[in-house]
Structure 1
């Protein structure tokens, strides 16, 4: 009897096990089938495609994240690598291999800041007074997380191609700028104050910058750009950051932000391009601004960048460009935002500048002051024949004027979506 009972119990147990296995298999099969036949809003997961993407990303990171001789941790979470100058990404370019950074060029003559109090500006990573050693440059480390955050990993570090159209009313880019064109320009200079505008969508940004431009806006546009930007997609936060950009084919295949491709040659060990700026301006409070100057070295033809109180950051080699190899035909100053209309088709609430309109003036609106250009003989000159453009003045506007202290200057910006900007 005991034997029979044991056999019956064993058979029952086997049946239960088989039933569980079958049920589990059916569940897995059903799940597999449901993943193979996606619903309208589903996309297939392709392991091979994801592995290829991961391989591409890691190869890119190995290329741009150079081995540091010192690492500095920033209070905002950035990691700053101190990289030997001759190992920076610029020297991966075929035309720069084996080169070393050039010596500083002759600075343009004339100084609009002679009567101003120099304000030293810092970045968060160097608040403690720690900088990279001489002979190295600070590079903000790029991570896998940075690239996965981007809308397109293949175009990480580049502006969208649709950015090229100057009439931005239909492509999501809106400007409030002043500009000059029609002559030959060899540089530009201005001081602009720093804010932390609200950016309401991860794939939007808010930028305040100088553009040095030549060529057409169709497919051969050459630009050199520098200023500050808030870009959650690029940096993962809402801090205003010092940035540079260049392109020689209207943002299609050449150029990038900061040091995210070979091109810009950095020479300074105290400024990290792409790092957060500190301090920033406050509404009805203290105002902080930075001086920026881009100019063409008369001797070698390279385009140099100066930041703050005379700090040379580095240069864009002349060979990178076609039209800008000789001179610029347009210079712009001002703000730009992306309006993706992601909120049910309404205008974005992404702010430009301080987020307040130009009419509010000093301490409330964002400004550029002491606007100048560089002429063929390396002289800084005040601007004449300025033109003013606000793509949507009910969303972001601009007001330009002149006085004896700030020279040519303007207030600009706005809140984006409001009762007049639905």
Structure 2
């Protein structure tokens, strides 16, 4: 793909101040178990406590990791377990026990899959092995995964916290496009995949869609999907396909991927949490993934589709309060954690690690942004707004044209002369 005149960016759309509340509400930084980003070096070793911790970890692993019918070794070191569909973690939920996944729903009107890529976009599938029909691939969680976590008791979730109204104190920085002021029943976008550098184990860099409802207090409901680099969660720096959900502002509900009972996976070719390949190259080939989240009009569940019509699975409507009905906001974009290592802004990259102004082939992008309306129609955005809450570190520029519809470039290097 080459960059012609349509790649140029229009002026940044004015920002509504209320969104500061939204951007501060997403993804709290650290668990109260640690209090800061650095682990203490003078902790007393207590054998009994360590033994109890290891016992608790092993019990949790038995709950998360289901007995596979087949095991696949991924080239990146992951172990992929092929688990019978009706035995996946979702069916540990009291409301799903004894059930099986639902049949596919009706797609939104106006949805025309591009056919650009198949579901073979993950490193584990390069082994040539696949999971048999009637099973789903699940990335095995290891003891090392849990020991890396800042709080092993809340492994795979975000820490409890009160949502704050300011954006400067929680360590999370965003460059996002968003729509609000209507009732939304889904969203769709193509997201450019990169492998940004992450400064330390307790930071991450991600690009995703948020489908949001509720106030930004304790009743925040979100459904999230995209790609992330998270050394703490995965133990490496590969970009990985991920999902998340919560119904109480990340307090006690929800988790990443399949690490709790919630999301019901129906696909036997995609492993949520597994590494994505290929990725985009600076001044080279560009690789993006298409994601669609929408509410099934018949049963009310929220479905996730990847690429050219490949259903991944669904979030049952009973998981939510406000999202049982509809979303009140949809957000697209990038987020990083800034733990200010050594007292300076982090050099963790967002997106490609380059600013929006560099454009196609160099900056990260979201394109073909759409939402689903009350009548299950995919429609273009009518009022996209963009916001970068630390524009000298990570910025965003939006536009619209015939080829990409609503789109924006975003990202940045983090620490630089204008972002000390």
* Same fold per superposition (TM over 0.5): yes
Distance change (3 Å), C-alpha of 1:346 and 1:385: same
User: What is the Cα deviation at residue 46 of structure 1?
Assistant: 1.9
Match of 1:32? none
Match of 2:390? 392
User: What is the Cα deviation at residue 128 of structure 1?
Assistant: 3.3
Q: Deviations over 1:251-288 (max 9, x none)?
A: 01100000000000000000000000011000000000
User: What is the Cα deviation at residue 365 of structure 1?
Assistant: 0.3
Match of 1:335? 334
C-alpha distance in 1 between matches for 2:293 and 2:319: 16
Q: Deviations over 1:41-93 (max 9, x none)?
A: 62222222111111111111000100000001000000000000000000001
Q: Does 1:63 align with 2:28?
A: no
Structure 2 unaligned segments of length 5 or more: list them.
Answer: 1-39
Contact 1:162 1:171 in 2 (8 A): no
C-alpha distance in 1 between matches for 2:85 and 2:181: 38
C-alpha distance in 2 between matches for 1:272 and 1:166: 36
Match of 2:271? 272
Larger CA deviation: 186-195 vs 43-52: 43-52
Match of 1:199? 198
Match of 1:312? 311
Match of 1:373? 371
Contact 2:162 2:217 in 1 (8 A): no
Distance change (3 Å), C-alpha of 1:237 and 1:163: farther
Q: Does 1:92 align with 2:82?
A: no
Match of 2:210? 211
Count of matched residue pairs: 380
Q: Deviations over 1:112-148 (max 9, x none)?
A: 65xx561335100001332100000000000000000
Name the structure with the higher helix share: 1
**1:78-117 maps to which residues of 2 (within 5 A)?**
78-111=78-111
**1:51-200 maps to which residues of 2 (within 5 A)?**
51-111=51-111, 118-120=116-118, 122-162=121-161, 164-165=163-164, 167-200=166-199
Larger gyration radius, structure 1 or structure 2: 1
User: What is the Cα deviation at residue 169 of structure 1?
Assistant: 1.9
Match of 1:407? 405
Distance change (3 Å), C-alpha of 1:67 and 1:243: same
Match of 2:252? 253
Contact 2:74 2:127 in 1 (8 A): no
User: What is the Cα deviation at residue 168 of structure 1?
Assistant: 2.8
User: What is the Cα deviation at residue 385 of structure 1?
Assistant: 1.2
User: What is the Cα deviation at residue 162 of structure 1?
Assistant: 4.8
1:168 is paired with a residue of what secondary structure?
coil
Structure 1 unaligned segments of length 5 or more: list them.
Answer: 1-39
Contact 1:125 1:275 in 2 (8 A): yes
C-alpha distance in 1 between matches for 2:164 and 2:279: 31
C-alpha distance in 2 between matches for 1:361 and 1:317: 39
C-alpha distance in 1 between matches for 2:230 and 2:331: 21
User: What is the Cα deviation at residue 167 of structure 1?
Assistant: 4.1
**What TM-score, normalized to structure 1?**
0.88
Match of 1:231? 230
C-alpha distance in 2 between matches for 1:162 and 1:410: 31
2:255 is paired with a residue of what secondary structure?
coil
**1:288-367 maps to which residues of 2 (within 5 A)?**
288-342=287-341, 344-367=342-365
Contact 1:166 1:217 in 2 (8 A): no
**What TM-score, normalized to structure 2?**
0.88
1:161 is paired with a residue of what secondary structure?
coil
Match of 1:45? 45
C-alpha distance in 2 between matches for 1:161 and 1:284: 41
C-alpha distance in 2 between matches for 1:359 and 1:171: 27
